[in-house]
Structure 1
Amino acid sequence: MIITDKKNSIVEEIIELKKKRNAILLAHNYQIPEIQDIADVLGDSLALARAALNTEADVIVFCGVHFMAETAAILNPEKTILLPDLEAGCSLADSITVDQLRKWKREHPEAVVVSYVNTSAEVKAESDYCCTSSNAVAIVNSIPEKKEVLFLPDLFLGEFVKKETGRENMYIWQGECHVHAGIRPGQVAEVFTNHNDADLLIHPECGCSTSSMYLKAEGILPQEKTHILSTGQMLDYSNKSNAEQFIVATEVGIIHQMEKQNPNKQFIAANPEAVCPFMKMITLEKVLMSLKNNTHIITVPKKIARKAKHAIDRMVSIG
């Protein structure tokens, strides 16, 4: 009871400070349940980027990881962007540096660079397009077929996009999200064996995504039950589907929202240990302190922001 009272008190104080400061709370689907429950906007990277672009709030409290707050800062240079914990990083974003990208571009001087949103502002500034898992295929399809494409940094998403688009002149950076990469084909197969009436919802960043596409094409995984989707698309699908069970192959944080929106359906994690420690760093206490003390303000140098915004604008407008 004491813990609940303390939590309620913190939530009430956050709500009061949001009103006082004309602030909005944006949260990713992988955040802890307490953060998801108080978010003004909850979604995947694309939905949150669009929300950041369209908000009339003066202050954006970003409950996600560092690159997401940077994206909001690029889209809203006149607003205050707060990240409650500076240590909330991303192993995938760290898998490529701007110097590595510049070297890669020199090896393919005519190529179009498509960067997953899970990258630093500096990498975005060297890119022609940004994308998310929900619109990566649409963005690559929008590029003239004769143009080489450099896709970075996620190898599993890249392989998925290459297969979906049929594009042979697409080169893929060999980076990965350590959490999604840890969801292996054998785990999905084992869970499906025990729940063979369930629909399979697989994030394209997962280590099982490429093999699942192959198994689906071969008929080993049922065509009508196997779906490769972004986190936002997973939520939409589970809300609309008549299925009663779902195997979820992504970071487990999304299951909270799935269960909340569909209390009569069952959601089973393909790998219950698929937990991103960075996504779990932000707490109610840190959000409160962030609103009270402006911790931590995220800014991007103007020159980098101006170049990166061009790629992000394309991401927001497509798909």
Structure 2
Amino acid sequence: MATLIDARADCDIPTRPAGIDAAARRGLRYTPEVKRATDPLYGRVKDFIPAMEWPLYAPLIHAINALKAERKAVILAHNYMTSEIFHCVGDFRGDSLQLAQEAARTDAEIIVQAGVHFMAETSKILAPEKTVLIPSLKAGCSLAASITGADVRLIKQRFPGVPIVTYVNTSADVKAESDICCTSSNALQVVESLPGDTVIMLPDEFLAKNVAAHTRKRIIAWHGRCEVHERFGLEEIAQLREGFPGAHILAHPECPPEVAAAADFVGSTAALAHYVAANKPGRVVLLTECSMSGNVAADNPDVEFIRPCNLCPHMKQITLENIYDALLHMQHEVLVDPDTIARAKGAITRMLALPRPTAPAAFKTGLALAEVEVI
């Protein structure tokens, strides 16, 4: 049985999405047919969803899966989705890099992005002939909002000829102004692949600083930050080590560099999941978005997960009900103009053309903090 322990007594983690009674409002019922079809799925989430609540989820899950088959659609579910989305309706699950790769090769006619808007734009860029839907137009991103294409054009004027690496957590317009994209899984690999001794990394300041500690290249960074990961600090790590002795503390590289240096392991969400599966620590803390712990716990029932309480309000805009509505009504299609697609696709495909590692890349811990120019 998977074990989840909240790190703080005041955690406000919802037990189910708001408005889950939307199934009944849509005329969807928990029938014997729905029960038979969804019972195997419940086995994946039984440790996180009480049995008495499952009849509220199951009708929507069953209807979504039926609509997917009818419309030849797939759902790309990010690691930060809630468990009923991640395990019960997601066809492909993973981090931004994994989902981008799946978008590029799927033969589905429709892609539903169970993630945030920049991910849906990336899917459209890689598969422009497909219909890409985003269940909620409110699913934004603090990093993507921190920079515009106009900002990048000004940066290029200030630093002519310096390669620009853009994190995938950006708009299509920003990607179109970039030389190559990166994710937290391959950021160091991308930086090391570029010529010259100076690289501009946009827009995540902390990812840039964590990469800078691993390379001899001069890194110039933007001042964007993830509103989830920037809240983790050294005091919280000290409290976790004192309150949960022996716990392995795993951090995402969007965390502040001093947090990354003090963690036991640093990597992308895919790397964090891989670490848990490969090492089977008795107790673990994932310093990333809170839903990730439950999703990884489902595959590692013998590991005790200590959950931090940092939720992404943008990811939590995606619910079973708006996934159902998006598929039913074919609403909230993501469109990117052809010129932007052509320019942004070059940056993404150059990233995807790099050799694929045999396992998700990890950052070293305990390194000295690197000096980075933040513009």
Question: Normalization by structure 1: what TM-score?
Answer: 0.92
Moved more, 181-190 or 115-124: 181-190
1:33 counterpart (83, 96, 111): 83
C-alpha distance after superposition, 1:167-190 (max 9, x if no partner): 2x2201111011110111211121
Matched, 1:180 2:229: yes
Find the aligned partners of 2:269 and 2:149 in 1 and give their Cα distance.
Answer: 27
The aligned counterpart of 1:91 is 142
Matched, 1:237 2:287: no
What CA distance in whole angstroms lies between the structure 2 residues aligned with 1:108 and 1:14? 48
From 154, 174, 194, the equivalent of 2:243 is 194
C-alpha distance in 1, partners of 2:56/2:284? 35
Q: Could you tell me how far 1:2 is from its partner in structure 2? A: 7.9
Task: Return the alpha-carbon distance in structure 1 between the equivalents of residues 208 and 94 of structure 2.
Answer: 22
* 1:274-303 Cα shifts (integer Å, max 9, x gaps): 100110111111111111111110011000
State the shift of 1:4 in Å: 3.0
Match of 2:164 among 92, 113, 126: 113
Structure 1 counterpart of 2:258: 211
Q: Let me know the Cα RMSD of the aligned residues.
A: 1.4
Which amino acid in the other structure matches residue 249 of structure 2?
Answer: L
Aligned residue number for residue 165 of structure 1: 215
Report the CA distance between 1:110 and its aligned residue: 1.1
Partner of 1:295: 331
Task: Classify 1:3/1:202 alpha carbon distance in 2 versus 1 (closer, same or farther; 3 Å).
Answer: closer
AA partner of residue 208 (structure 2):
G
User: SS at 2:333's partner residue?
Assistant: coil
What does residue range 97-176 of structure 1 map to in structure 2 within 5 Å? 97-146=148-197, 148-167=198-217, 169-176=218-225
Name the aligned partner's letter for residue 224 of structure 2: G
Matched, 1:305 2:341: yes
Structure-2 separation of matches of 1:2 and 1:135? 42
1:213 is displaced (CA, Å) by 4.7
Rounded Cα–Cα distance in structure 2 between residues aligned with 1:313 and 1:288: 31
Secondary structure (helix, strand or coil) at the match of 1:62 reads strand
Q: What letter matches 1:125 in structure 2? A: A
* Structure 1 residues 33-84: Cα deviation after superposition (integer angstroms, max 9, x where no partner): 2111221111100000001111010000100000000000000111010100
Of 109, 118, 128, the residue aligned with 1:58 is: 109
Measure the CA separation in 2 of the matches of 1:4 and 1:193.
36
Contact 2:162 2:199 in 1 (8 A): yes
CA contact (8 A) 2:252 2:260 kept: no
Determine the C-alpha separation between the residues in 1 that align with 2:243 and 2:54: 37
Moved beyond 4 Å, runs of 4+: none
Q: Percent identity among equivalent residues? A: 40
* Residues 163-222 of structure 1: CA deviation (Å, up to 9, x unaligned): 11122x220111101111011121112102222312121100013xx114544xxxxx6x
Residue 102 of structure 2 is aligned to residue 46 of structure 1: no
Shift of 1:5: 2.6
Give the corresponding residue for 2:304. Answer: 266
Query: What is the match of residue 118 of structure 2?
Result: 67
For 2:292, which of 250, 254, 271 is the aligned residue? 254
- Supply the AA of the counterpart residue of 2:225: E
Q: Which of the two has higher C-alpha Rg?
A: 2
Q: Give the gaps of 5 or more residues in structure 2.
A: 1-50, 357-375
Cα deviation, residue 316, structure 1: 2.0
For these two proteins, the number of residue pairs brought into alignment is 304
TM-score by length of 2: 0.79
Label 1:65 to 1:283 Cα distance change in 2 as closer, same or farther (>3 A): same
| Contact kept? 1:188, 1:249, Cα under 8 Å | no
Task: Give deviations 1:142-183, integer Å, cap 9, x for gaps.
Answer: 01243x21101001100011111122x220111101111011
Tell me the residue number matched to 1:218: none
Structure 2 SS opposite 1:91: coil
What residue identity is the alignment partner of 1:39?
G
Pick closer, same or farther for the CA change 1:78–1:275 going to 2, 3 Å: same
SS in 2 for 1:261: coil
Paired with 1:10 and 1:311, the residues of 2 have a C-alpha distance of 38
Partner of 1:316: 352
